[in-house]
Amino acid sequence: MSPRPAILSHPALAAVLLAAACAAQAARPSTPATPLPLPPPPVTPADQPLQRQTGMVVIEREHGQKIIVRSLEPDSLVGGDRYEFGQLDADGDGFVERGEVGAVDRYLLRAFDQLDANRDGRLDRDELTGWIL
């Protein structure tokens, strides 16, 4: 007759497996925890570049809740360009003529007559508000 293999009971088997797992964990080199970078803070209106407010509506809701909707002057031109007055006023006379605009921005050239409030054929700083920085 051959000898019978030893049968471990469930608690004994669990103890053997736990001991093996602990030994394997102890044999593995430990690595220190590495911190992850924090997510960027949420953007608030105070973090945005200064822009001129062009309108505001307050909507009253129940329980005294208010929703404020503000419209701001765009922070860039169509096409993503911003100009300083000096860039547009090539001859430095304090006004921007149609020829000076045509060399720099075709969108501004199209709007030239609408922006020329006093119809003198040239634009001053006040007439260019919103188109220049």
Alpha carbon dihedral 125, 128, 131, 132, in 10-degree steps, equals -10
d(CA 98, CA 103): 9
Sorted by sequence, the CB contacts under 8 Å of residue 73 that are 6+ apart come out as: 51, 52, 53, 54, 130
pLDDT along the chain (133 residues), means of 10: 58 79 74 81 67 83 89 60 74 87 78 87 83 58
Q: What is the pLDDT of residue 120?
A: 92
* Model pLDDT, residue 65: 92
The two three-digit tokens of residue 30, written as one number = 């430990």
What was the pLDDT predicted at 60? 92
CA 19 to chain centre: 53
Q: The pTM is what?
A: 0.39
